[in-house]
Amino acid sequence: MTTLSQNAPTSKAKREETEDDGRAKRRKMEEEKQRESEQVEMRKLENLLFGSLYNPVSFGERDGDVEGSDGSALFRVDRSAVRQSVDSEDDDDEEEEEERVVVRKGEAAWEDEEEKEININIASVNRLRKLRKEEDEGLISGSEYIARLRAHHAKLNPGTEWAKTDSGITDGDSSDEGEGGGDDDDDILRTNEDLVVKTGGSKLCSGLLEYSQHADANIADPSNAPINSVQFHQNAQLLLTAGLDRRLRFFQIDGKRNTKIQSIFLEDCPITKAAFLPNGSEVIVSGRRKYFYSFDLEHARFDKIGPLVGREEKSLESFEVSQDSKTVAFIGNEGYILLVSTKTKELTGTLKMNGSVRSLAFSDDGKQLLSSGGDGQVYVWDLRTMKCLYKGVDEGSTCGTSLCSSPNGALFASGTDRGIVNIYKKDEFLGGKRKPIKTVENLTSMIDFMKFNHDGQILAIISRMNKNSVKLVHVPSLTVFSNWPPPKKNMGNPCCLDFSPGSGFMAMGNAGGKVLLYKLNHYMNA
């Protein structure tokens, strides 16, 4: 008994030792299997995210042929945190803080060292040949392959400029009281120009035009005949109106009383057009006569000019004045354009089109002249050399009826007898590109009148043949304002239109003898 009792503890200790060794071996085998399983799953996940780096031959296979495409390799249980907590059970919190890896912006969170060791043949698979930089290029490293894929993706999907920033973002806690707090706010607000527009600012919004109607501009002395011309003086307060009742009227525009200043009766000339010289010194008045009038504003004196020497035109009813106030261009017979000096009132030269002339428009500097007419082409003339710089077909036009140039000379609009308006970039048109940047087809009858406002953001288009046939185009977006003409308002048959120098007011004359006055709320100055 004594011998048995002495051997019992020894055999028990041996059994426990054997069991511990078995458990340790089983645990070790389980850990090795776990690691191998995790490596297999990691490779599957890498293949799904970055492509089959370990099996280059399978690049041409479809997505359905890739192992784990059923979603089994997309998710796994991460037990690394559990093992780490068991192994580092006795570690202090300070040691854990030291082992923590800080990832900063611009640094990779994880890098695969095997990428540099793997070679991929991009010439063997059709869909990878686009990544080659040279025609005979074949094998490239895995890291180079990933870099080229990313570059190709960025090329096909360019990012938006407003989302890019040059300023770096630092890691760590930030507060409003920090040094960079105010700068971050400024960076956010730095690109708000196209998103937020202040009332009365320089950028006009598209869609709906904000306006209000005021008392008629000629309420103090309305006409009993169609209004053929309305124009604001450069001081923004004086407005002229003229029409077939042979009266030239001047009004002081304040939006309320619109007091009449003067009315002049021309006994022998129903007025078809009247216009200030841009310098504001005089008014040119014409009708279906072989002469025209010049009215000196300073001395309140009318001068009758014509007929022009050497010409037999029976009508000088249509003309345009250059922006430098030096030249008046009249539409003549048989394709001729007559150039008259505003200083001497004498004919200084003529230009000849192939077809009849129907419309004219000066450039912003007065050195060039645009013309169109019966041959459906737009001519650009150099007034210094008196030669045609360029002529091109106005797209879709058989007969040009109206021309208009923007204040800065970058754009011009051409209207036709079919109600179509083409808007062109002048430089592109002169360079041979005849495709308009926009074609406006909202009107169906002949275009009789067009006008840009002072900053070129609004283009007014008028057709006299139908009631309410007036459209306003938002030039930056090349769209038509949807609330113009005003709904459920009878504007009559529009004849002419003008914006005040600051575009605060817009006056429109109609065939009923009224001059409708509108305040454009976006513009603060008249």
β-partners of residue 508 are: 497, 516
- Domain boundaries for CATH 2.130.10.10 within the chain: 265-505
Pick the CATH number of 265-505 from 1.20.1200.10, 3.40.50.300, 2.130.10.10, 1.10.3720.10: 2.130.10.10
Sequential DSSP letters for 476-516: TTTEE-TT-SPTT----SEEEEEE-TTSSEEEEEETTS-EE
Specify whether the CB–CB gap between 462 and 450 falls below 8 A: yes
Cα dihedral across residues 317, 322, 328, 334: positive or negative: negative
Specify whether the CB–CB gap between 230 and 241 falls below 8 A: yes
Among 443, 447, 493, residue whose Cα is nearest residue 468: 493
Q: How many angstroms separate the CA atoms of 404 and 409, rounded?
A: 10
| Confidence at 22, pLDDT banded by 50, 70, 90 | confident
Token pair 């003229």: residue: 242
Tell me, what DSSP letter sits at residue 325? S
The dihedral over CA atoms of 427, 414, 205, 496, expressed in degrees to the nearest 10, equals 140
425-465 pLDDT, tens per residue? 999 999 988 899 999 999 999 999 999 999 999 999 999 99
Q: Percent of the chain beyond pLDDT 70?
A: 76
The dihedral over CA atoms of 260, 262, 265, 269, expressed in degrees to the nearest 10, equals -90
37-65 pLDDT, tens per residue? 878 877 776 666 555 555 544 444 444 44
| Confidence at 33, pLDDT banded by 50, 70, 90 | confident
Specify whether the CB–CB gap between 454 and 503 falls below 8 A: yes
Q: Which residues contact 414 (CB under 8 A, 6 or more apart)?
A: 372, 378, 394, 397, 400, 402, 403, 421, 422, 424
